[in-house]
Structure 1
């Protein structure tokens, strides 16, 4: 056991240390599920070790049922935080697994079915968090929607455009606005941006547009609330192997190959950035975008 633990902490080749394409072609209905994915995503179940960086904090993570959200919830719990997270109705089984991981770390897990496209659902989520925890120390706006349209802007329906905007932007706006009165000095907001904010893929035009807006929103809000002792930052991942990929992209075989490291990230590789930004070690860091792109240079 000690040997296995040491091996997990040894330096790892970033090129060969995780699965690389070519992957099997796989398709799922949206929103996608972890179980059928090949290779299975790594959320840090066997590797993430906590160091008490978030002891007794109260965190709210949207889209915490799978992917980056699950990895963040797991890491936060192992760092000592209680975690409330959202999921969609069809993601109930995924949510149970995230809750189990949080509880296995000895922390409180509160799974809330919530479609953040609806303002009143966002309001109810914040009220539930305050009722459960008394405050919100860390708000992670991670839930997102994308759908590839390789045939161009003509194929992006108003319905799709509206769903992308309301999920990725409206939900974030509402949750920040409603949560800020309950975030104490020393608390923070962390948004999920993307490499798409800087290097948009044409087939993800609407999604990339929202990610660019998230960067601007993060930097503007950070200045607005700095005097209140609240920090606002974002993480901009590159390609990450999550259920959203087989559920929204037509070809998964070479996913992530374009990154200089030649592969997509695993969700577990994103979580440490979210932990750092939430921790006291980041006390002088606000209005920043932490790029985790596998080597793709960003401004």
Structure 2
């Protein structure tokens, strides 16, 4: 595992990979792909960095062609594309805000045109603003959580659905907070709970079509969103992330990627409406 994390902050969400100290690990050098996703086409929102990049790179190592949607972090997005292409697959990056339905419609259209179809959708892009008092959450901050974290999942899935056939999969990134709560992340936790309802209901609706819908619920993971959300409030809090888990540390994106591979591959063909909890051993309810 990389060395311990010092106190730090980033000024804007979702943050930049190049500013992380220490750098995050997105895929382990010894991760051996076995063509589990060969011939498949995947679209990952928030794929420029963090968990989204990890999912994209693990998919690529398993043989899938990749498209990512990202907000404005051009350097991070280009690096994800470079790393995916180094795995011998096709990859492209699409700039835009998933809070707008037109962005999601365009991203799906461009993905299908570039990759020849679409089989896997990963809804992952999210914002997270820290507040220890509900009355300090502005209308704008509350609405931004809703627009990105749940509306964006709906918009991208709705746009993708006409292109998905039997054996296609949808994977939603939720959070341990949807189950355990977080006193400092009321708005974020609310949207993560909504994503779980979206996952379960959509899984029931799409099961007759042979399309599976599942979720991953990470615990604290070392991504740019952490110093970009906690850092402006308390840089020292960033250094403490994950220390209260049974494993006593923050997770790396590389430890999440294989969960997305499992849900995207035929290995999980009898799983829908379910959640994989990758959270360092945190106790959950529900």
TM-score (norm 1): 0.91
| Contact 1:20/1:264 (8 A) holds in 2 | no
**In the alignment, structure 1 residue 297 sits paired with structure 2 residue 283:** yes
Deviation at residue 176 of structure 1 after TM alignment: 1.1
Aligned residues: 279
The one of 175, 192, 199 aligned to 2:156: 175
Q: C-alpha root-mean-square deviation of aligned residues, in Å? A: 1.1
Deviation at residue 149 of structure 1 after TM alignment: 1.0
The one of 76, 81, 88 aligned to 2:71: 88
Unaligned segments of structure 2, at least 5 residues? none
Deviation at residue 130 of structure 1 after TM alignment: 1.7
Equivalent position SS for 1:107 = coil
**In the alignment, structure 1 residue 41 sits paired with structure 2 residue 27:** no
1:52-201 alignment, distance < 5 Å? 52-89=35-72, 91-150=73-132, 152-201=133-182
Alignment correspondent of 1:244: 225
**In the alignment, structure 1 residue 206 sits paired with structure 2 residue 192:** no
Distance across 2 between alignment mates of 1:47 and 1:193: 27
Equivalent position SS for 2:19 = coil
Distance across 2 between alignment mates of 1:231 and 1:51: 22
Provide, for residues 143-188 of structure 1, a one-character-per-residue CA deviation record: whole Å limited to 9, x for no partner: 00011112x1111111111111010000101111121110110000
Deviation at residue 285 of structure 1 after TM alignment: 0.6
| Contact 1:135/1:184 (8 A) holds in 2 | no
Report the CA distance shift for 1:129/1:289 in structure 2 as closer, same or farther (over 3 A): same
| Contact 2:90/2:115 (8 A) holds in 1 | no
Provide, for residues 31-53 of structure 1, a one-character-per-residue CA deviation record: whole Å limited to 9, x for no partner: 21112212211001523321100
| Contact 2:47/2:80 (8 A) holds in 1 | yes
Distance across 1 between alignment mates of 2:79 and 2:106: 23
| Contact 1:25/1:253 (8 A) holds in 2 | yes
Distance across 2 between alignment mates of 1:45 and 1:114: 29
Q: Which moved more, 1:46-55 or 1:67-76?
A: 46-55
Distance across 2 between alignment mates of 1:126 and 1:237: 26
Unaligned segments of structure 1, at least 5 residues? 1-17
Deviation at residue 133 of structure 1 after TM alignment: 2.2
| Contact 2:121/2:171 (8 A) holds in 1 | yes
Distance across 1 between alignment mates of 2:60 and 2:176: 27
Provide, for residues 59-94 of structure 1, a one-character-per-residue CA deviation record: whole Å limited to 9, x for no partner: 0000000000111111000000000001112x0000
The one of 223, 244, 251 aligned to 1:265: 251
Distance across 1 between alignment mates of 2:275 and 2:31: 23
| Contact 1:19/1:263 (8 A) holds in 2 | no
